Amino acid sequence: MKTFTKNGVKRLAAGFVALSGKTAIGRYFYGQVIDSAMERVQRVSHGDLDLTFAIPNAVCKFRADTFSTKEPETLEWIDAIPRGSTLWDIGANVGLYACYAAKARGCRVFAFEPSVFNLETLARNIFLNGLTDRITIIPLPLSDRLTLSKLNMTATEWGGALSTFGQGYGHDGAPIGKVFEVPTIGLSMLDAVNLLGIRQPDYVKMDVDGIEHLILEGGVPILRGTMSVSIEINDDFHAQANDASRWLQAAGLSLKQKRHAEYFDSSPGPARHTFNQVWTR
């Protein structure tokens, strides 16, 4: 029933777009709707800190609404970062955690986000919070090496996730339901430092929905200079889990904890077996 309703709404919206495009007034009205969506913002308070996030759609609003509850372990990890540290946010999405780290801890953040649909909202969130001097957007995916390939995407909405670069599997190791693809350049963590001149990270947050282990493989020399890594791993995706552990240990890091919010324990599907792991030196 839920899927039927969603599909019905999509068809209705598509019909409205097609109809509005036939007249000058319709096109103007449609443009105003889009502009209005991108101007919607929501204030979020966490502790004694206030942030402002763009909420152009339901996905972004959900992310803002659950800022303090969806990944409390990630916020706690950020809270322990020494002020002024350099943080790489790999898979930054629309930048909620990048903005928090920059504002709460004064971090110099490099936000890696290749989704063409998320980049506009990410940029807006950085600007809304006055963080353009602290956060730099890197609109390229990380991988194990410098390569030309495609970002395979399961969604084309602002704030969407579950995309993967250069591979056909997703966060659980299963084939993804691709609906869109973007030809782009992937690079390793080592390439990001040596070729782009990006500052060596003191801390790394990684959530790319599937190829975390490949990024780690290409980043061991960089990770040897990193103090801590927070990384999302699905325990049931054995190749990812085992290889990620191997490369993090090769970089001299040790597993400190793995956690997720309590409500994921009763969630259906892979969410129950997916945790944010914290590795430290």
pLDDT in tens, 67-82: 999 999 999 999 999 9
pLDDT at 265: 87
- Look at residues 270, 259, 276, 264 and name the one whose alpha carbon lies nearest to residue 204: 276
d(CA 151, CA 166): 6
Residue range 193-220: mean pLDDT, rounded: 97
pLDDT at 191 over 70: yes
pLDDT at 17: 56
Mean pLDDT lowest among 2-6, 13-17, 58-62: 2-6
Structure tokens at 122: 């990410």
pLDDT at 142: 98
Residue range 215-220: mean pLDDT, rounded: 98
Structure tokens at 172: 């659980």
pLDDT at 49 over 70: yes
Count CA atoms within 13 Å of residue 71 on its CB side.
23
d(CA 126, CA 124): 5
Cβ neighbour number for residue 133 with a 10 Å cutoff: 9
pLDDT at 9: 55
d(CA 264, CA 252): 30
Output the pTM of the full model.
Answer: 0.89
Domain definitions of the chain by residue range: 69-280
Residue range 5-31: mean pLDDT, rounded: 62
Residue range 25-44: mean pLDDT, rounded: 72
For 139-162, the pLDDT digits (tens) are 999 999 999 999 999 999 999 999
Q: Please tell me which residue, 6 or 111, carries the higher pLDDT value.
A: 111
User: Taking a C-beta distance cutoff of 8 angstroms, is the pair 246, 273 a contact?
Assistant: no
Structure tokens at 15: 């019909």
pLDDT at 228: 98
User: Taking a C-beta distance cutoff of 8 angstroms, is the pair 51, 103 a contact?
Assistant: yes
pLDDT at 3 over 70: no
The topology (CATH level 3) of 69-280 is Rossmann fold (3.40.50)
d(CA 152, CA 179): 8
**β-bridge mates for residue 185, sequence order:** 148
d(CA 51, CA 166): 34
Mean pLDDT lowest among 24-28, 98-102, 185-189: 24-28
Mean pLDDT lowest among 53-57, 216-220, 268-272: 268-272
The DSSP output letter for 22 is: T
Residue range 85-101: mean pLDDT, rounded: 98
Residue 24 pLDDT grade (very low, low, confident, very high; cuts 50, 70, 90): low
pLDDT at 112 over 70: yes
pLDDT at 38 over 80: no
What mean pLDDT, rounded, does the chain reach?
Answer: 92
Residue 154 buriedness (CB in 10 A; 0-12 / 13-18 / 19+): middle
pLDDT at 72: 97
In the block, tokens 């997703």 appear at 170
CB within 8 Å of 243: residues ≥ 6 apart: 213, 214, 216, 217
Q: Is 73 helix (H, G, I), strand (E, B) or coil?
A: helix
Cα-based distances in Å from 233 to 12, 35, 173, 242 = 38, 37, 11, 10
Query: What φ, ψ does residue 105 adopt, rounded to 5°?
Result: -120, 0
Residue 22 pLDDT grade (very low, low, confident, very high; cuts 50, 70, 90): confident
CB within 8 Å of 56: residues ≥ 6 apart: 37, 38, 40, 121, 158
pLDDT at 29: 57
